[in-house]
Amino acid sequence: MKKHPFPLFPSRVSQCGVKPCQLGFSLGQSLYHRHPAAGHKKLCPERHDRRSRHRTVLLQFKMVVDTGIVRRKHRDDLCIFQRCANQRILHVSTPIVAAAVAIRFCSQIIVVARGGKIVYEKSYGYAMLNDMGVRLDDPRPMVMNTMFDMASCTKIMATTQSIMKLYSEGKIDLDATVASYIPEFAKNGKENVTVHQLLTHTSGLPQWKAMFLYIDKDKSKVLDYICNCELMFAPGEEKYSDLGFQMLGFLVERITGRDMDEYVQNEIYKPLNLKRTTYLPLKNGFTTDDLAATSFGNPYEYAMVDEIGHPGFGYDCTADLDAFSKFDGWRNYTLVGECNDGNAWMANGGVAGHAGLYSDAEDLAVLCQAMLNGGIYKGVRLYRQDVIDLFTSEQNGKPSRGLGFERGSSFMGRGDRHYDAFGHAGFTGTHVVMNRTNKTAVVFLTNKQNVGFKPNSTSYYSPYSCCGEICELVWNTFGAEAPAETLADKISAWL
């Protein structure tokens, strides 16, 4: 059995990033600064176990309280957002957010955009806290313009944006077969797979393949690999597929005659004056100081293909055992500026339809605002309103699925109104969410992988619940009608 080449999880001090006595200083003075809201009731963390519903984020706070990291006199301060009556700007009361940062995610950035303006923004923690599982003596702080590996958010902020523009210009037919644009795709049962099916993850293509075991940064070979794949599922059955979005990237290239990164840069990002959104950031004028660090090599994908040491983890890779035993291309260093996704980086060379994009929160907020404005921002039109309506609408009778976009996922809020929301999440801890009803966007970025795996596990901590709570509070703050309950009342109801 091959020896696992990566540190699976750092020590507890490395996960938290700071010692309890240092936390207030390291995360900023606001950790111990209350924003008292008139009429808010005092809440009792000891009641957390009375009901499990909606308690994940509150329990993260309680964990920090119980370990003495937050002073006892602030145990009642669980308010995340408070509306400022005069300016309708959100303020953060940070103990719960800082707790989530310290214990789980290393850092996070929150941006809320509405009406063409950023109405709230805040950064927490560190852009790079650990190096291969070892706590840095001088960790690099997170700043608002730190660029993140967007992982699967690439699907909606690069690939789907490109498809929407091509569709708006009449250059792509969503009901046409993929083979009508890429003839070599028409084999092994894929002859009738449509563009629409790629966008809705109903093509029948495999969900994931360890292409990097066979291909070294050669996108033409990646295209050949996918074209030679057999369908794994019946067309029409929804199975989330990276391969499908890789094909959409190749469709953009085949239709336009331009590389995917060059097309989206010049047709989407530059017209909106987005300065910090790009593939391959280290080749496009940025340095590691501009970028949030992610994983310690590729330990998750290693476990996925290691059918001997981690049998049954992820997808079935027994057919790749021989290639896995011979593969020596694992990255044995902390990733900064190289996208985490193995197929995007090691097979495709850093540019792919399913992953590889880097961006900062403010650039993402601008692109979100363009969509909420009907496809236009500061006089620049990307596509028509009816295109946005189509791509963000329910598809195939599934309320959770749009064209490229996810709808109503758990990280977008809760209750009926969260189906007004659409967006995507990335495996590195990134989230982009828009709400069509109140014309508001939430960008919630973390570099969760830089704290390593959960102890005795091969998985990372999830920021889904934290993002969902933030979205819910934002939707309530900027709802069409004033919420009937105060935020404190809502939190009390969860306990």
Question: Is the per-residue pLDDT at 480 higher than 70?
Answer: no
Q: Give the whole-number percent of the chain exceeding pLDDT 70.
A: 75
Q: How long a stretch of residues is the chain? A: 495
What average pLDDT does the segment 353-380 reach? Answer: 97
pLDDT value of position 415: 60
pLDDT in tens, 197-210: 999 999 999 999 99
pLDDT in tens, 389-407: 999 999 999 899 999 999 9
What average pLDDT does the segment 263-269 reach? Answer: 98
What average pLDDT does the segment 55-83 reach? Answer: 32
CA distance 214 to 230: 17
Reported as a pLDDT band with limits 50, 70 and 90, residue 121 is confident
Reported as a pLDDT band with limits 50, 70 and 90, residue 24 is very low
CA–CA distances in Å: residue 453 to residues 104, 132, 158: 10, 12, 28
pLDDT value of position 120: 85
pLDDT value of position 80: 33
pLDDT value of position 143: 96
SS3 242: helix
What average pLDDT does the segment 338-367 reach? Answer: 98
What average pLDDT does the segment 41-60 reach? Answer: 33
Higher pLDDT, 88 or 66: 88
pLDDT value of position 360: 98
pLDDT in tens, 124-182: 899 999 999 999 999 999 999 999 999 999 999 999 999 999 999 999 999 999 999 99
pLDDT value of position 101: 54
pLDDT value of position 419: 75
What average pLDDT does the segment 93-115 reach? Answer: 67
Question: Is the per-residue pLDDT at 468 higher than 60?
Answer: yes
Reported as a pLDDT band with limits 50, 70 and 90, residue 1 is low
Reported as a pLDDT band with limits 50, 70 and 90, residue 97 is low
pLDDT value of position 104: 63
How high does pLDDT run on average in the chain?
Answer: 81
Higher pLDDT, 39 or 135: 135
Question: Is the per-residue pLDDT at 454 higher than 70?
Answer: yes
Inter-residue contact 445 to 430 (CB < 8 Å): yes
In b/e form, how buried is each residue of 440-472, taking b as 16+ CB within 10 angstroms?
bbbbbbbbbbbbbbeeeebebbbbbbbbbbbbb
CA–CA distances in Å: residue 276 to residues 250, 343, 347: 24, 23, 24
CA distance 203 to 201: 6
What average pLDDT does the segment 275-302 reach? Answer: 98
pLDDT value of position 71: 28
Question: Is the per-residue pLDDT at 318 higher than 80?
Answer: yes
What average pLDDT does the segment 464-471 reach? Answer: 89
Q: Tell me what percent of the chain is helix, strand and coil, each rounded to the nearest 5.
A: 40, 15, 45
What is the pTM for the complete model shown? 0.82
Tokens of 88: 């309708």
Question: Is the per-residue pLDDT at 448 higher than 60?
Answer: yes
Reported as a pLDDT band with limits 50, 70 and 90, residue 4 is low
Tokens of 482: 């004033």
* Nearest in space to 110 (alpha carbons), one of 62, 146, 153, 56: 146
Question: Is the per-residue pLDDT at 191 higher than 80?
Answer: yes
Question: Is the per-residue pLDDT at 99 higher than 90?
Answer: no
Q: Give the whole-number percent of the chain exceeding pLDDT 90.
A: 67
Higher pLDDT, 362 or 85: 362
* DSSP-derived pairing of the beta strands 406-407 and 421-426: antiparallel
Inter-residue contact 388 to 164 (CB < 8 Å): yes
pLDDT in tens, 211-264: 999 999 999 999 999 999 999 999 999 999 999 999 999 999 999 999 999 999
